[in-house]
Structure formats: structure tokens, C-alpha cells
A and B are shown apart, each in its own frame.
Chain A
């Protein structure tokens, strides 16, 4: 069964303390891996798409990387406004089926000033 596991479930950082969030997946055929940010009371907001191992994407203090079994979201010198839940999702290929996104349960990041 296809699975997406995110760790840790929650992460508390001091402002400026860099760290990484992990998304590990087991799918039969990865077509793409997606990172979303979700603020309390809001819908997820699209951040990045990664398609192949070795690929990297950056946006401000965030950098996403992909290997054959996991993805990391690196946060460099975070600020309080980076506090949110970060969701990872994978699109897996099922033979002739288009497949759908499978979401992890997210990592809740809190950045204290």
C-alpha cells in the first residue's frame, strides 16, 4: 500500500535556528512529490513540486530536496511567520490510471522569537 510518512509530527524552533522536515514515501511509481503549507483555519497553499531524485527547489528560506525514498524541507534561519503545518503529498502512477495525491499528516512547525 502506498504511504507517506512525515516526521517529526511537531517541531519547535527558535528564530534563526535552521532545521529540516522529513517526508518518506513508499509508492509503486512516483510521478511527483509536492509540498504545501497550511496556516490555522486555512486551506493548504502550494509550495513546490519535485519530479526526480536529486532535484531541488528554493523559495525564500525554504529548500526542498528529493531522493528515491524521501524528501526534505530545509528551513534556513526561520522567522515566526514560517510557523505553519507543512504537508507533503505524492502522486503515484498506477498502470494506466492517472492516480491521485496521497497526503502525509504534516509537521506542525512553531518558530519562537
Chain B
């Protein structure tokens, strides 16, 4: 079975540029989560979708961050404009129906903003 797929795996960009991270969840899963992981703050939930609908975006740091899920097999997290403090590893995770908190994580995207 294919797990959660994320792209790109690494992204280096300059401050002020737009960054788009992509995620394909596991087929059949109906919840999708975007997390950010840093040494200082650990793993933090940014936003999650249920059946393609955003349910809780209270973890999105500010208006520079936006996320979409146009269909059950694809989601994006966009940062515009990017700043050095956005440097982190961004994970996408998905979970099956009725097991919302048994989440399966992708390999992550390591973002570096210079």
C-alpha cells in the first residue's frame, strides 16, 4: 500500500517567495492533517480537513498560510510570502473513518527560507 505522499521532500527558497507544499493522502482515508515540526516547538497541528472540508485552522500561524483540499486525494499548503521563521519540516497525515486520531504521516517536506 502506498502511504501518504508529500512533495517536494526538500525546498529551499528566498524570503518573500511563494511556497506550495503538496500531499496525497492514503486512499480511503477521510481526514487530512497538516503539521509543522521544529526543535523548539515540536509537532504542531496547523489545520485539518474532514471529507475535504476544513474543520479547524486555529493552528495556522497567520494569513500568510493557506491550505486547500480540492478533492479526496490532494491537498496543498501555501505560504505567501515566506519568511525565515517558517523554516521547519511540514508533515501531512491522514486517518481512516472512525479512527480520526490514528494518523498516518508522510515523509515530510523540509523547508528552508533564507
Chain A interfacial positions (CB closer than 8 Å to B): 32, 34, 36, 41-46, 49, 87, 89, 91, 98, 100-101, 103-106
Complex Cα–Cα for A46 and B44 (A):
16
**Which 8 A-B residue pairings sit nearest by Cβ, starting from the closest?**
A43-B105, A105-B42, A103-B43, A44-B105, A91-B101, A43-B91, A100-B45, A43-B106
Q: Tell me the total A-B contact number using a CB cutoff of 8 A.
A: 44
Of all chain A residues, the one with the shortest Cβ separation from B103 is A46
Size bracket, chain B contacts: 20 to 34
Please determine whether A101 and B45 come into contact, CB atoms closer than 8 angstroms: yes
Given known A104-B42, A106-B42, contact A49–B102 (CB-CB < 8 A): yes
Chain B interfacial positions (CB closer than 8 Å to A): 4, 42-45, 48, 55-56, 59, 91, 93, 100-108
Shortest distance between the CB of A46 and any CB in chain B (Å): 5
- Report B-chain residues with C-beta under 8 Å of the C-beta of A32: 101
Given known A87-B43, A103-B43, contact A45–B101 (CB-CB < 8 A): no
Please determine whether A43 and B101 come into contact, CB atoms closer than 8 angstroms: no
- Report B-chain residues with C-beta under 8 Å of the C-beta of A103: 42-44
- Report A-chain residues with C-beta under 8 Å of the C-beta of B55: 98
Given known A43-B93, A43-B108, A106-B42, contact A101–B103 (CB-CB < 8 A): yes
Of all chain A residues, the one with the shortest Cβ separation from B101 is A91
- Report A-chain residues with C-beta under 8 Å of the C-beta of B103: 46, 101
Shortest distance between the CB of B32 and any CB in chain A (Å): 13
Partner of A42, one of B93, B104, B107: B107
Please determine whether B108 and A46 come into contact, CB atoms closer than 8 angstroms: no
Shortest distance between the CB of A107 and any CB in chain B (Å): 12
Of all chain B residues, the one with the shortest Cβ separation from A42 is B107
Complex Cα–Cα for A32 and B101 (A):
9
Given known A98-B55, A100-B56, contact A43–B4 (CB-CB < 8 A): yes
- Report A-chain residues with C-beta under 8 Å of the C-beta of B56: 98, 100
